Amino acid sequence: MRKPLLQEEAVPSSADYRPACGQAELESNPKATHRARGFWPSIAWIALVEVVVLLALAGVFVAYLNWSSEASFAEFLAATNAQAASTLPLTEVRPPCKPGA
């Protein structure tokens, strides 16, 4: 005599027959594989544009620093020359005028 089985037979679920998310689209549509891989060139293009913009901004910043330091140096030289001109020694010293003379 056989003992009755107490376990139920396994029934496959519908998930066993469905492809993984996006897998069916990739297998059935060759353009879908292009779309799936199509974002990497976009990421590379965006990164390249960011690098170019950052280099341009760095160049503008360096040019501004160069210009401002030249302007400050010129201002410093002008102030130094003006101060040196006002403190030149007198070659002839005259005594003060005497009253009644």
Summarize pLDDT for 30-57 with one digit per residue, the tens: 565 556 667 888 999 999 999 999 999 9
Q: Is residue 64 part of a domain?
A: yes
Q: Is residue 10 part of a domain?
A: no
Q: Is residue 16 part of a domain?
A: no
Q: Is residue 12 part of a domain?
A: no
Domain of 49 in residue numbering reads as 22-85
First and final C-alpha spacing in the chain: 158
Joined tokens for residue 85: 């001109």
Q: Is residue 46 part of a domain?
A: yes
Number of domains in the chain: 1
Joined tokens for residue 45: 């293009």
Supply the pLDDT for residue 76: 84
Greatest CA span in the chain, whole angstroms? 158
Alpha helices in the chain (DSSP H): 23-28, 30-37, 39-86
Q: Is residue 32 part of a domain?
A: yes
% of the chain with per-residue pLDDT over 70: 48
Joined tokens for residue 4: 């009755």
Q: Is residue 68 part of a domain?
A: yes
Query: What's the length of the chain?
Result: 101
Q: Is residue 98 part of a domain?
A: no
What band does 72 get if pLDDT is binned at 50, 70 and 90?
A: confident
Can you tell me the distance from the alpha carbon of 30 to that of 22, in angstroms, rounded to the nearest whole number?
12
